[in-house]
Amino acid sequence: MTPPSARPEWQALQQHAATIQATHLRDLFASDATRGERLTAEAAGLYLDYSKQRVTDETLGKLVALAEAVGLREQIAAMFTGATLNNTEQRAVLHVALRAPRGAVIEVDGQNVVPEVYAVLDRMAQFVDQVRSGVWRGYTGKPIRNIVNIGIGGSDLGPAMAYDALRQYSARELTLRFISNVDATDFAEAVRDLEANETLFIVASKTFTTLETMANAQTARQWLLDRLGDKEAVARHFVAVSTNAKEVAAFGIDPANMFGFWDWVGGRYSMTSAIGLSTMLALGSGSYHAMLGGFRAMDDHFRSAPFAQNLPVLMGLLAVWYTSFMGAETQAVLPYDQYLRRFPAYLQQLTMESNGKRVRRDGAAVDYETGAIYWGEPGTNGQHSFYQLIHQGTKLIPCDFIGFCHSLNPVGQHHDLLMANMFAQAEALAFGKSAEAVAASGTPAWLVPHRTFPGNRPSSTILAERLTPASLGALIALYEHSVFTQSAVWGINAFDQWGVELGKVLAAQILPELSSNSEPTLNHDSSTNSLIRRYRAAQG
Ligand code: F6P
């Protein structure tokens, strides 16, 4: 496999980066009056303005040439047709099949998976209707009022984020809670005001072996039994979402109450699989399918649009540009919508578990930077905490601003205030305020450096009409495919996560050392040994 960095297209970008490092966004805008209209693209209800990115037409041409050279087009086609792209786990990567149209044909090992997808979606819809209409009742005959999703990582972050994002579309009479952390505080606080006989637990785990989820599920079962006093109650209050029917049955959940998915769905790409059951319970199946429609619209666009107008490709190539050529280490994601407050957390798993890799698919070490650190907070809160560093610090931090033309809570002037801030921040970052302009406004000379904004700080703005199930779906798919684009250029496998394994193994080793009655022989390093001894001593 040719390393991307050995390609002439890569080297051309390296040379070109020196030119761009010396070019200010002020000059790029001054020399092209139409830049703000030209460097934009639109699809699936999302408008992307990337004119405030530190790129020229030449940069974009060179990035697209690199994408072509590494075979991005072929890799996209391979993903959509069920190729074994996850080479280290020998799996297809087919989250796009989860939102394909009902009649589509997508084959894995010669078998069309779309009918299976719809069989599960239809079962989910049936179950959701029963719960929401009160046909499905708890053990004591009461309707379900509380839904508690127990899962972690991809079995938590997507559903938790989507519930927050789409609260306006949810059945407000239902209470939804999400338990992920093995810290019992998460469980205790989530259930403390819930009545067991009105509560449905969804145990969501692809593998059904994840330590945190299994511990929380056992605790939930005990909590229920302590209150309802009969094992028979479990069947009315627990359902499972998993690929592992055997473990689900071993836990004691009736396989009839299990919603399945498949090993070709990666955990962090699973929110449109049955992992979305809590989302469907909150929204109802109509709005859930509208969300799938938004994902699908972006999938179709990604698959077919020319690279120069392809939103996920453009965003992915910009991410490669900053990470591998311009020296940026992080990417801020700044949603100007309170409903998207969990979106950055969701993106952290999607992006960093996918592209936090140091070897390529063939095992060779990369000689370039990969996967940026993604982080962020909803605007305007971030403005009053960390934006200072983005404006005047020494680091280059590309930002994604995300906003909507209409608020779902149109109260007074709030939305104009919110959006004025979003537009202003992107403008201030790009253009700054020169020392001359600061001095000219009467600032004493000694204060001028402190009040100068260098500008030239890049951002994209993603603007949609309104936050809806469909626009949320399109937004998530946009980032999913941007991640794919980055991985394709870097030549890495975005679909495995071996880096989470070592900690799990060591935790399993340490657990008995913490709880054993006799003093254990510790064979860790001196730091870990003494931390364990101190912890044990504190337990008495
Ligand atoms: O953290 C590793 C990981 O495997 C994630 O990739 C996954 O989303 C999460 O754990 C939860 O896994 P599961 O759904 O199998 O419980």
Tens-place pLDDT, residues 127-163: 999 999 999 999 999 999 999 999 999 999 999 999 9
Distance CA 374, CA 415 (A): 26
Ligand 1 atom nearest to 154, measured from its CA:
8
Backbone angles phi, psi at 486, to 5 degrees: -60, -45
The answer to whether residues 335 and 344 touch, using CB atoms and an 8 Å cutoff, is yes
Tokens of 50: 């990337």
Q: Is 497 in the pocket of ligand 1 (CB under 6 A)?
A: yes
Q: Is 37 a catalytic residue?
A: no
pTM of the model: 0.98
Among protein residues, the one whose CA lies closest to atom 16 of ligand 1:
205
Ligand 1 atom nearest to 275, measured from its CA:
14
- Residue of 177, 472, 491 lying closest to 363 (CA atoms): 491
Collapse the DSSP code of 2 into the 3-class scheme (helix H, G, I; strand E, B; otherwise coil) and give the result: coil
One-character DSSP codes across 359-390: B-TTSPBPSS---PEEE---TTGGGGTTHHHH
Catalytic residue, from 212, 353, 480, 513: name it: 353
Mutate to test the pocket of ligand 1, among 149, 182, 207 (most ligand atoms within 8 A of CB): 207
Q: Is 205 in the pocket of ligand 1 (CB under 6 A)?
A: yes
The answer to whether residues 351 and 479 touch, using CB atoms and an 8 Å cutoff, is yes
Collapse the DSSP code of 347 into the 3-class scheme (helix H, G, I; strand E, B; otherwise coil) and give the result: helix
Query: How many angstroms does the Cα of residue 99 sit away from the middle of ligand 1?
Result: 21
Catalytic residue, from 232, 384, 450, 501: name it: 384
Strands (E), 283-368: 330-335
Among protein residues, the one whose CA lies closest to atom 3 of ligand 1:
153
Ligand 1 atom nearest to 151, measured from its CA:
16
Tokens of 412: 């007074």
The one-digit pLDDT tens for each residue of the chain (540 residues) are 899 999 999 999 999 999 999 999 999 999 999 999 999 999 999 999 999 999 999 999 999 999 999 999 999 999 999 999 999 999 999 999 999 999 999 999 999 999 999 999 999 999 999 999 999 999 999 999 999 999 999 999 999 999 999 999 999 999 999 999 999 999 999 999 999 999 999 999 999 999 999 999 999 999 999 999 999 999 999 999 999 999 999 998 988 999 999 999 999 999 999 999 999 999 999 999 999 999 999 999 999 999 999 999 999 999 999 999 999 999 999 999 999 999 999 999 999 999 999 999 999 999 999 999 999 999 999 999 999 999 999 999 999 999 999 999 999 999 999 999 999 999 999 999 999 999 999 999 999 999 999 999 999 999 999 999 999 999 999 999 999 999 999 999 999 999 999 999 999 999 999 999 999 999 999 999 999 999 999 998
Distance CA 459, CA 263 (A): 36
Among protein residues, the one whose CA lies closest to atom 6 of ligand 1:
267
Mutate to test the pocket of ligand 1, among 86, 88, 155, 209 (most ligand atoms within 8 A of CB): 155
Query: How many angstroms does the Cα of residue 267 sit away from the middle of ligand 1?
Result: 6
Query: How many angstroms does the Cα of residue 318 sit away from the middle of ligand 1?
Result: 28
List, in order, residues 6 or more apart from 379 with CB less than 8 Å away. Answer: 334, 335, 336, 401, 403, 418, 421, 422, 425
Q: Is 267 in the pocket of ligand 1 (CB under 6 A)?
A: yes
Q: Is 270 in the pocket of ligand 1 (CB under 6 A)?
A: no
Q: Is 213 in the pocket of ligand 1 (CB under 6 A)?
A: yes
Q: Is 500 in the pocket of ligand 1 (CB under 6 A)?
A: yes
Mutate to test the pocket of ligand 1, among 91, 152, 205, 483 (most ligand atoms within 8 A of CB): 152
Query: How many angstroms does the Cα of residue 175 sit away from the middle of ligand 1?
Result: 25
* Kind plus residue range of the DSSP H or E element containing 157: helix 157-165
CA count, 13 A, side-chain hemisphere, 499:
13
What domains can you pick out in the chain, each with its CATH number?
4-67+288-490 (3.40.50.10490), 97-283 (3.40.50.10490), 504-539 (no CATH)
The answer to whether residues 377 and 402 touch, using CB atoms and an 8 Å cutoff, is no
The answer to whether residues 94 and 265 touch, using CB atoms and an 8 Å cutoff, is yes
Catalytic residue, from 246, 406, 414, 504: name it: 504
Angle between helix 114-133 and 285-304 (nearest 10):
150
Beta strands 199-204; 238-242: pairing state: parallel
List, in order, residues 6 or more apart from 446 with CB less than 8 Å away. Answer: none
Amino acid at site 510: I
Distance CA 429, CA 212 (A): 41
Quote the longest CA-to-CA distance of the chain. Answer: 78
Q: Is 469 in the pocket of ligand 1 (CB under 6 A)?
A: no
Query: How many angstroms does the Cα of residue 34 sit away from the middle of ligand 1?
Result: 46
Tokens of 195: 């009545």
Tokens of 524: 């860790």
Query: How many angstroms does the Cα of residue 153 sit away from the middle of ligand 1?
Result: 5
Q: Is 329 a catalytic residue?
A: no
One-character DSSP codes across 75-120: HHHHHHTT---BTTTTB---GGGGGS-TT---EETTEE-HHHHHHH
Q: Is 152 in the pocket of ligand 1 (CB under 6 A)?
A: yes
- Residue of 172, 143, 149, 173 lying closest to 161 (CA atoms): 149
